[in-house]
Structure 1
Amino acid sequence: MSFRLRAARQGDLEPLYEMAKLTGGGFTNLPSDRDAIADKLERTGKAYGRDTQELSDELFVLVLENTETGAVRGTCQMMTQVGQQWPFYSYRTSTLTQHSQELDRTVRAELLSLTTDLEGSSEVGGLFLHPGERAGGLGLLLARSRYLFIAMHRKRFADRVIAELRGIIDERGGSPFWDGVAGRFFGMTFQEADYFNAINGNQFIADLMPKHPVYVAMLKESARTAIGVPHPSGRAAMRMLEKEGFAFEGYVDIFDGGPTMIARTDAVKSVAGAVEATIVATDLNSGERALVASGQLGDFRSSYAMRELRDSGVAIDRAASETLGVKTGDIVWSVAR
């Protein structure tokens, strides 16, 4: 069975909608709303159709396709410059130290401050793999193919890239962090607020969110312990991000308190290690395992392959050349698995 990542198109609406219904909430970039997904596909179609190499507010959606059946079994997204249509809010954790000479006591208070520090960054997100395909390294293919895409279209992405990980969601589908912080001001459940944000944007946060810092000690324990903690299903994703060079720098999501991971784009391992080369052979029988990508923008495709870097170019195996639709003389980008 062979899989490849490719650019999303309008015909992918229904499989994306069906996958969105499996996310279990808290997945803003893949809302279970057919119209919202259709809007994303329309926006990404415009991005793929714009061939000028400059940074602007764009969305690129990729889908994982079974090349034997044509079924779409996963997806991921890249936002080139967040915070352009609406402010991009985060909570930043910090510590305030105060000392009383009379009491001879020092008190350190942890704070959550509303900020737009990360505005203008690129973002990788929206990664979802169908539960029936969570084996064989397909999650890794989804995640790292985004960085090959960025390397291939570097001028269209910012110098800093972020990844927001879903936070703790309880058995009711609610968020302890939301209930303990923002939910007190909005009169909405986490699911209602998350859905509204996914469909309408987060301007309502700017309108109603208190602007003063929140003292962590005043929150319920369930909210405190959720700060900066990824959902159990996101722990592997956090480890993959750390291997790529991302780090948690104290920024958390305003809805569920999940960690925001940050990296310099050119320092991301799969961006820095990406190699552009001309195919010199497609009959490789053995070589190092790699991710290989071809095509620009709407023609982008990526898959696993065997590769051998040579002075004259790169050799890949026949199966990969067929999956990617490439031949000798074509240019591909690759990075070691």
Structure 2
Amino acid sequence: MTHVIRAATTKDVEAMYEMAKLTGGGFTNLPPDRDTLAAKLERSAKCFAKNVDRPDDDLFVLVLEDLESGEVRGTCQLFTEVGQQWPFYSYRIQTHSQHSQELERTFRAEMLSLVTDLEGSSEVGGLFLHPNSRAGGLGMLLARSRYLFIAMHRDRFGERILAELRGIIDDKGGSPFWDGLAGKFFGMSFQEADEFNALNGNQFIADLMPKSPIYTAMLPESARAVIGLPHPNGRAAMRMLEKEGFAYEGYVDIFDGGPTVTSRTNALKTIRESQPAEISRCDLDIGDRVLIATGANENFRCCYGMIEAEGDTIAIDHNTCRALQVEPGDTAWTVGR
């Protein structure tokens, strides 16, 4: 085992900044701004240190560390309850039907309605894996570590959970959806709006965006064509989310039109199937390869490893015990790959 997921600390700000510069834009949870990232890491550290048993507008930042080099090669985030600091806006695709007796025809029009339906949900997001580390199942490790963290801290998360996927961004960093809709009301480019949102929140959307539903037929074809579609680089993430139990229910991002997927928290595959057990020994030679997590709050660690059930306990291989910093008698949560 050469990689482990751990709680991020304020010392990770430079590594986070270097990764943020590689995202290519439209990645609100990982802006290429040192001060914003430093504030995010400080907030995360305070949230890890809290001792509460309910959702409380908390943010947890996790990082993927290469144990051999000590380098941070990826990151992901969890939000316990969105929409508390400022409203959580989405567009929801809805259909409006009208019938004309004179024409003997029924017309069905697709509309985008600005809603806050998802407020109070938990959110997983901010997942980014360094381009040179996109092999060996590390993306899946990053993604599923979040659900193990939720399972191990279940009281701190809501009954509903969401994930936003980045929408279609063109070669110049622009958004066809933004240009065809919101950009007409704000007098700024997608890049400017995306950066402003990452640094200051999206209250300006409530201030300036029209509240009436938008008929998609009135949008240019370039904008209509990308509604609800993930960025090509996010298609694998979309498949992982769907495999986990998330579903697309017509919610799209107000900036780039990317899909927002949702689920009942307890229905997620990793949360349903994970279970805790006491570690009996740390000298296993061969066993089933699974995801393993240990530790509460800032002591959380997660990696791939080998286990073997021994009654109500589990044996773990030595390298995994060392990566997780555990010993016999400690508790580990496991779930199959």
Output the TM-score relative to the length of structure 1. Answer: 0.99
Aligned partner of 2:127 in structure 1 is 127
In structure 2, the partner of 1:116 is 116
Q: Distance in 2 between matches of 1:315 and 1:245?
A: 30
Matched, 1:100 2:100: yes
Q: Distance in 1 between matches of 2:288 and 2:232?
A: 32
The match for 1:227 is 227
- TM-score relative to the length of structure 2: 0.99
Q: Residues of 2 paired with 1:165 and 1:320: CA distance?
A: 32
Alignment of 1:144-293 (within 5 A): 144-293=144-293
Give how far 1:310 is off: 3.0
Amino acid at match of 1:152: M
Partner of 1:328: 328
Alignment of 1:308-319 (within 5 A): 308-319=308-319
CA distance in 1: counterparts of 2:307 and 2:161, whole angstroms: 28
SS at match of 2:17: helix
CA displacement at 1:307 relative to structure 2: 1.4
SS in structure 1 at match of 2:298: helix
Q: Please, which moves more after superposition, 28-37 or 318-327?
A: 318-327
Answer yes or no: is the 8 Å Cα contact 1:280–1:312 preserved in 2. Answer: no
> In the alignment, which residue of structure 2 is the partner of 1:87?
87
* Aligned residue in 2 for 1:4: 4
Q: Provide the C-alpha distance between the structure 2 equivalents of 1:246 and 1:114, rounded to a whole number of angstroms.
A: 22
Query: Is the Cα contact below 8 Å between 1:162 and 1:260 reproduced in 2?
Result: yes
Deviation of 1:52 after TM superposition, in Å, equals 2.0
Over the matched positions of the two proteins, sequence identity in percent amounts to 66
Distance 1:109 1:101 in 2: 17
Q: What are the within-5 Å matches in structure 2 for residues 19-34 of structure 1?
A: 19-34=19-34
Measured in 1, the distance between the counterparts of 2:221 and 2:289 equals 46
Counterparts of 1:126 and 1:189 in 2: how far apart (Å)? 22
Deviation string for 1:181-204 (max 9, x for gaps)? 100100010000000000000000
Instruction: Answer yes or no: is the 8 Å Cα contact 1:284–1:315 preserved in 2.
Output: yes
SS in 2 for 1:240: helix
SS of alignment partner, residue 282 of structure 1: strand
> Which amino acid in the other structure matches residue 86 of structure 2?
W
Q: CA offset at residue 230 of structure 1?
A: 0.2
Question: How much has 1:222 moved relative to structure 2?
Answer: 0.9
After superposing on structure 2, the runs of 4+ consecutive aligned residues of structure 1 that deviate more than 3 Å are none
